[in-house]
Structure 1
Amino acid sequence: MVEERTNRRPLKSPDRPRRRDIALTAGLGVFIMAVLALSGEMEAGVFLAGSLALAGLAAVYYLTALTAAEPSARPAEAGASLRPVEIDACEAMLERLPIPVLLIGPGGRIERANPSARAFLGLGAERGLLSTALRQPRVLEAVSAALRGERGAAVEYSTLAPLESHVRAFVEPIRLDVPGPMPFRAMLVLADDTSSKRAERMRADFLANASHELRTPLASLSGFLETLQGPAHDDEEARDRFLAIMKEQTERMRRLIDDLLSLSRVEMNEHVAPTGSVELNDLARDVTEALRLVAERRAITLELTLADTPAQVRGDHDQIYEVVENLVENAIKYSPDGSQVRIWVEAPRTRDGAEHMPERMDPQSGRLTLSAPPLDPDARFAVVRVRDNGPGIERRYLPRLAERFFRVDGQKSGPTAGTGLGLAIVKHIVSRHRGGFTVESAPGAGSVFSAFFMLAPAQATAPPAPPSGTGPVEQTAGAVTKV
């Protein structure tokens, strides 16, 4: 057994100078009275009584200072014994803190990082240089200044890839009692301001877009009301015609507001990936059944082909449902009466296999990826494709399909006029799910829109499925389903 020896220096009481001053003052008083007594200015009895009184008073003050000094040493000893417990408590708090916190040492090397920081910056088990994980020159300059002992700073920075984010970095120097020429460390705290920044921008965009798009229907409603109150007050035929137009404009404003609110909700959480799970085969079947009556009104047949294997994807059920619903609704809207709309699900697929069909729908068709997932060669996807028999889209319009309020020439008015927000909503939902969104189209040949989502971990390891669409066909009212 090895005996541990600790050389402790006696605690130096901060009250020792006060006790020394008390003794010196008392001695000086006795000395002055002794001089006065020897010179005959003070009687011997007075000198003796005064000396005794001064000595007693000094003794009382000395003992008071002595008893006050003893408790002062005990807290220091208690603090020294509690220090390991305090350190453990601080480390436990740091590990559970939801805000990323890092301790940067000399040379910009990461010495400590809590779990939130490791997840936020994608740090591995090894602690390397901060510059390899955070490529922000202003933040690195602030960290270098803190390591030199200079004043801390707050730095804001933004990134656009892989997703837009806004971060505020707080840097403060910390002096440690360590040997060496560099006693300073830099504490780096990262605050994610993406949600607040997006909320501010969306509020302004919503007001600007809503005021711009609502101005025309509101002006029409105002003109019709003035006409009904004036010249057409007693004209029943004009009144019925104007009321029908007013109803159509009101319905358009309602759809526009609903789409704007939906787009705002999606953009608000686009930087946060969903954690749920959705079976894409079942979801596509539900969407087809829900839109069957809409297709029947125009004698359009919906042909649904499901994947041969389960297509369990990671995502939010309601948002993926909205994606498929928007694509199928657009296909029905732009297809002629009595035609056919095809919907099919494929899984599993690599990224290249999910983006586009193996064969082109037309030799002159244009293909474009509107939104792409992060590069991951091991990722597997399930894809839902929707093909219409509409007029098709010219190649020059493809890059703008997912822009807000963009409508192709010839689709800005009439019964097929939409709000111009449906494909923008689809793109942002797919981006939030870390999936992809592509289009292939040719004038006169229709269009194919594909949205693909990452498979759940249990499905991602399955072997690629053969091309679907070879199963038996079951005829239903207004819809064809291949299973």
Structure 2
Amino acid sequence: MTDTRAAARIDLDPLRRWVVILPALAAMGLAAVLQPGVAPVLAAGAVVTVMALVLLRRPSLALPISEQDEPDVSAAGAALAAEALEALPDPLLVIAGDDAEDVGDRAIVRANAAAAALLRLPSGGQDHPLHAAIRDPNLLEAIDEALFGRRTQSIDYEPGGAQDRHWSAWVAPLPGHGEAEGRLAVLRLRDETDSKRAEMMRVDFLANASHELRTPLASLSGFIETLRGHARDDPAAREKFLSIMAVQAERMTRLVADLLSLSRIELNEHIPPSGKVDLAGAVSDVVDATGPLAARRGIRLKVTREGEGSASVTGDRDQLIQVIQNLTDNAIKYSPDDTEVEIDLRVGVGADDAARVRTPNAAGLPLLTPDRDSQARYVLITVRDHGPGLARETMPRLTERFYRVEGQKSGERLGTGLGLAIVKHIVNRHRGGMTVESIVGEGAAFGVYLPLRVAAP
């Protein structure tokens, strides 16, 4: 539209000038005839007017009129490309390197917002050393092949960290940026965590279910065969076998439910929750729910709190209640009758303080450590029992699926061996940490710490 207006102005301006000048020349000629004394002055004015008209009609002098209204096409295109780059959901980087031998020569010259957030690059990542942001040797080798071998390829990339992520990395050289112009390559990362986790979930579920359900199914088959045979007319044996069958069926139901719950949690483990949860209220709800079960065995639930301010975190309330519920159930299950289970809530602790062993002479171990952030403050929940305790050599395996400590009795109901694995994956999704400490014969304490919710400015 601007070009059309400029063209119209260029076409109409000469016509307007002639409309004004021609009557002026005619008037000057008439005046010269009527007044001979002013003829030289009028003639000079006519010459100047005609020269000015000729000069104005020259294209070189008419250019500034159109140039003032022409937009800067190159600048607008660059700005539009930059905005499109920032809006892309996939991380995208432009990488430069001129020396094939000097690994430290590789630098990130441009990164969009998604890449800067993923790799924690300051100020868009401009001139940031590549090896400081990416340490995977396979990906670094692929980038070098794009820079110096002009080769395009796709590889798998797993950056590591507390949350296991799977990326598909595509690397290609930028056309027109070879040895003479300066070598540039583009790196695009695509998140394939969802598909990888879905595939792993199917495989793990089938493997775990087929392994863990084999024993109770075999027991049920044997009892059914016995009831159809010589125990058919024995009321006492029939009642005994039916009772055992009911326990096995209940265990299979809980096992399938826990496996499905764990699979769903692992599937979304890399996606942080967004809700607001008051952990003090969640602890209170769990105590109300588990109080009757503990009271039947004379076990008292004692809740204490330290620290000022709100105990709110960003999270999924149902999952966090499941965390506290599982830890409290375990503490009740392994506690002797007429003892105490202590639930301690501490607000505003640092990561190092949250992971510290508090019981003198106790063996402790971090079961899950969040990505390091010295500025973060956490809410720490510690559930302590006074049961048989745990030997140090058993601690690293506590969050494995179906792992059970040999020789320990767990009360009336046999667990599925998935409770602590579920706790670990939920806490990891909430970007928190998990610890255990114990003294054999005196009890164990499990701690879970979650980052405090930061109030919006």
TM-score by length of 2: 0.76
Conserved? CA contact 2:94–2:110, under 8 Å: yes
1:341 aligns to 2:338 (yes or no): no
Between 347-356 and 401-410, report the one with greater CA deviation: 347-356
Separation in 2 of the partners of 1:412 and 1:87? 70
Separation in 2 of the partners of 1:412 and 1:174? 65
1:331 aligns to 2:322 (yes or no): no
1:114 aligns to 2:105 (yes or no): no
Structure 1 256/411 Cα, relative in aligned 2: closer, same or farther at 3 Å? farther
Structure 1 443/170 Cα, relative in aligned 2: closer, same or farther at 3 Å? same
**For 1:456, what is the secondary structure of its paired residue?**
coil
Matched residue, 1:214: 213
After TM superposition, list the pairs within 5 Å mapping 1:236-247 onto structure 2: 236-247=235-246
In the TM superposition, what is the alpha-carbon distance from 1:165 to its structure 2 partner?
2.2
**For 2:166, what is the secondary structure of its paired residue?**
strand
Return the letter of the residue paired with 2:113. P
Unmatched runs of 5 consecutive residues or more in structure 1: 1-79, 460-483
Match of 2:379 among 369, 382, 390: 382
After TM superposition, list the pairs within 5 Å mapping 1:209-288 onto structure 2: 209-288=208-287
1:417 aligns to 2:417 (yes or no): no
1:430 aligns to 2:427 (yes or no): yes
Matched residue, 2:60: none
**For 1:379, what is the secondary structure of its paired residue?**
coil
String of CA shifts for 1:409-455, please: whole Å, max 9, x gaps.
12478734211111111112222222221111122211111111111
Matched residue, 1:404: 401
Match of 2:453 among 441, 451, 456: 456
String of CA shifts for 1:242-261, please: whole Å, max 9, x gaps.
11111110110111111111
Structure 1 290/197 Cα, relative in aligned 2: closer, same or farther at 3 Å? same
In the TM superposition, what is the alpha-carbon distance from 1:458 to its structure 2 partner?
4.4
String of CA shifts for 1:39-94, please: whole Å, max 9, x gaps.
xxxxxxxxxxxxxxxxxxxxxxxxxxxxxxxxxxxxxxxxx986665554443332
Separation in 2 of the partners of 1:120 and 1:184? 24
Separation in 1 of the partners of 2:227 and 2:442? 45
Q: How many residues were matched structurally?
A: 376
Structure 1 352/117 Cα, relative in aligned 2: closer, same or farther at 3 Å? closer
Between 276-285 and 300-309, report the one with greater CA deviation: 300-309
1:100 aligns to 2:91 (yes or no): yes
Matched residue, 1:16: none
In the TM superposition, what is the alpha-carbon distance from 1:237 to its structure 2 partner?
1.6
In the TM superposition, what is the alpha-carbon distance from 1:328 to its structure 2 partner?
0.3
Separation in 2 of the partners of 1:102 and 1:417? 53
Matched residue, 2:121: 123
Return the letter of the residue paired with 2:216. P
Root-mean-square deviation (CA, aligned residues, Å) is: 2.4
Separation in 2 of the partners of 1:366 and 1:182? 61
Separation in 2 of the partners of 1:216 and 1:297? 31
String of CA shifts for 1:335-392, please: whole Å, max 9, x gaps.
12222211121112122322245442xx4x3211111222222222111111112222
**For 2:424, what is the secondary structure of its paired residue?**
helix
Separation in 2 of the partners of 1:229 and 1:440? 50
Return the letter of the residue paired with 1:421. L
In the TM superposition, what is the alpha-carbon distance from 1:100 to its structure 2 partner?
0.9
Match of 2:389 among 373, 388, 392: 392
In the TM superposition, what is the alpha-carbon distance from 1:136 to its structure 2 partner?
2.4
- Name the % identity: 48
**For 1:165, what is the secondary structure of its paired residue?**
coil
After TM superposition, list the pairs within 5 Å mapping 1:126-165 onto structure 2: 126-127=125-126, 128-148=128-148, 150-165=150-165
Conserved? CA contact 1:146–1:184, under 8 Å: no
Separation in 2 of the partners of 1:106 and 1:356? 45
TM-score by length of 1: 0.72
**For 1:255, what is the secondary structure of its paired residue?**
helix
String of CA shifts for 1:122-159, please: whole Å, max 9, x gaps.
11104113222112233233323333462311122324
Conserved? CA contact 1:404–1:420, under 8 Å: yes
